[in-house]
Structure formats: C-alpha cells, structure tokens
Amino acid sequence: MAKRQPSPTERVEALFHELVDHYGAGDERELRAAAKLLLVALAKFRAHGGERWSALLDEYVDIVKRDPARFERMLRSNSGTSPDELQA
C-alpha cells in the first residue's frame, strides 16, 4: 500500500510551522510566519487571478470576517489529497 501523500493544505501548514521555527524565540513569530505566507499568496493572487484577483481576495477576506465557521469548513474541505476532492 502506498504511503499517503500530504494534502496541499497540510503541506502549507507544515511550511508555516517551519517558518515559525525559523523565527526561533522571536516576538510574534506566528504572526511573522503568517505574514510571509500571506505576502506570497497575495503575489500569486495578483499574478494568476486575472482581472478579478482583487474581488476574489475580498470574497475570501469577507468569509473570514463574517462567517468563521464557513471558513473553517473550507479549510477542512481543502485538505483533500487530489484536485477533485478540493472545494471552495
């Protein structure tokens, strides 16, 4: 039986923890690690999101602010291991 590959979300989580470790005992290390990931994500949104990248970003931010439970469900559903398992 093949070893289960981590999902993309799990891989990003692992990278986040790696960044947190990189900052050692520094102040706000979790926030600094999250900010690094956000900067990269924003650059990718802008580069690959087409003309609508900003509106899509606003939709996600709105979900985080107004419906945290939905946001959590989105994170959990995006832990699938194949592209056909992912949902937004």
Task: Give the range of the structural domain holding residue 19, as residue numbers without chain letter.
Answer: 8-83
In one letter, which amino acid is 56?
L
Would you say residue 2 lies in a domain? no
Q: At residue 85, does pLDDT exceed 50?
A: no
Q: How many CB atoms lie within 10 A of CB 33?
A: 19
Would you say residue 88 lies in a domain? no
Would you say residue 29 lies in a domain? yes
Q: How many CB atoms lie within 10 A of CB 80?
A: 14
Would you say residue 36 lies in a domain? yes
Would you say residue 3 lies in a domain? no
Would you say residue 1 lies in a domain? no
- Whole-number average pLDDT of the chain: 88
Q: At residue 2, does pLDDT exceed 90?
A: no
Taking the C-alpha atoms of residue 20 and residue 12, their distance in angstroms, rounded to an integer, is 12
* Structure confidence at residue 18 (pLDDT): 97
* Structure confidence at residue 81 (pLDDT): 53
Q: Kindly report the pTM of this predicted structure.
A: 0.75
Most confident of 25-29, 37-41, 81-85: 37-41
Would you say residue 68 lies in a domain? yes
Number of independent structural domains in the chain: 1
* Residue where the block lists tokens 């650059």: 43
* Structure confidence at residue 82 (pLDDT): 52
